């Protein structure tokens, strides 16, 4: 049996710069974001070669990204890969943490090595499965442009920091958020920053207001996190609804976690070191 970890991600900020109006990506949005892996939060995937393909997931998911991976692998490469796959979902669904995209990328990277599939083909499949899947193929924090498919290194001064992530369990559709996003005709450009603190304090998530209208509790969660002692900032990740706070030291983030657990024991929580 092969056991794989499929990591979550956070968007430290997400700026929407425009929208594609022609071609096969018509309607997609152009972004500038920094995406980081959360190594302490991951789904668990186990694989056993079999005479037929079976996919077992511990929660109900229709048309999972794993189904799409196998569909495009066979369609594009001709490989008829058969496994018994079990997926244990620890990352909340529809949370802005990229669980589905990470699942797809984790499998694609494994199959790329096992069956010597070119990285070009793997990248093509990743784009078809979901744009965020491209980020997870790199397995490292990156600044992300374009549709989310252009990745560059993050060249800023860094100091160790810690993350507290909170999710209230309400599923938010990325498609639903982007479809309701209002964009004016103002020309927007990617911003510049020199340090991690500058990045955190000078950026926002342009999807926040739209997501907040879908789930008003997002605002409450951000305010609760932001009220914790020594919280540098609090934001929403991706299209929501997970929110996070950044702290300088582990002791502060641990105290904040305990405080927020006392506020609502039904929320989902995680803490991790910020790796950038």
Active site residues: 9, 132
| Rounded Cα–Cα distance for residues 272 and 258 (Å) | 14
| Rounded Cα–Cα distance for residues 214 and 168 (Å) | 13
| Rounded Cα–Cα distance for residues 175 and 77 (Å) | 29
Q: How many CB atoms lie within 10 A of CB 205?
A: 24
List own/partner pairs for 191-195 with CB under 8 A and 24 or more apart: 191/15, 191/32, 193/156, 194/156, 194/157, 195/156, 195/157, 195/158
Residue 241: asked if its preceding bond is cis (omega within 30°), the reply is yes
| Rounded Cα–Cα distance for residues 142 and 10 (Å) | 11
**DSSP class of residue 205?**
B
Nearby residues of 234 by Cβ (< 8 Å), 6 or more positions away:
222, 223, 225, 226, 243, 244, 245, 246
Nearby residues of 41 by Cβ (< 8 Å), 6 or more positions away:
7, 8, 90, 91, 97, 165, 270, 272
């Amino acid at each position: 049996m092969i056991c794989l970890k499929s990591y979550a991600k956070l968007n430290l900020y997400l700026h929407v710069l425009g929208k594609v109006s022609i071609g096969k990506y018509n309607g997609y949005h152009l972004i500038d974001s920094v995406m980081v892996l959360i190594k302490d939060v991951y789904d668990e995937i186990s694989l056993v070669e079999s005479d037929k393909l079976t996919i077992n997931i511990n929660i109900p998911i229709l048309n999972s990204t794993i189904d799409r991976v196998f569909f495009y692998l066979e369609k594009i490469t001709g490989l008829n890969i058969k496994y018994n796959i079990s997926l244990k979902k620890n990352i909340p669904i529809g949370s802005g943490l990229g669980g589905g995209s990470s699942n797809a990328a984790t499998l694609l990277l494994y199959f790329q090595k096992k069956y010597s599939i070119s990285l070009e083909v793997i990248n093509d499949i990743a784009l078809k499965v979901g744009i965020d899947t491209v980020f997870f193929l790199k397995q490292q924090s990156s600044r992300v442009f374009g549709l989310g498919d252009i990745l560059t290194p993050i060249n800023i001064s860094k100091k160790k920091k810690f993350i507290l992530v909170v999710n209230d369990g309400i599923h938010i559709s990325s498609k639903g958020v982007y479809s309701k996003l209002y964009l004016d005709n103002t020309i927007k450009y990617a911003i510049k920053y020199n340090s991690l603190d500058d990045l955190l304090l000078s950026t926002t998530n342009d999807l926040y207001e739209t997501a907040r209208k879908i789930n008003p509790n997002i605002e409450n969660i951000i305010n609760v996190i932001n009220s914790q002692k020594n919280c540098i900032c609090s934001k929403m990740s991706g299209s929501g609804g997970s929110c996070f706070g950044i702290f300088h030291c582990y002791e502060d983030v641990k105290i904040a976690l305990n405080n927020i657990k006392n506020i609502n024991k039904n929320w989902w929580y995680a803490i991790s070191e910020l790796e950038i």
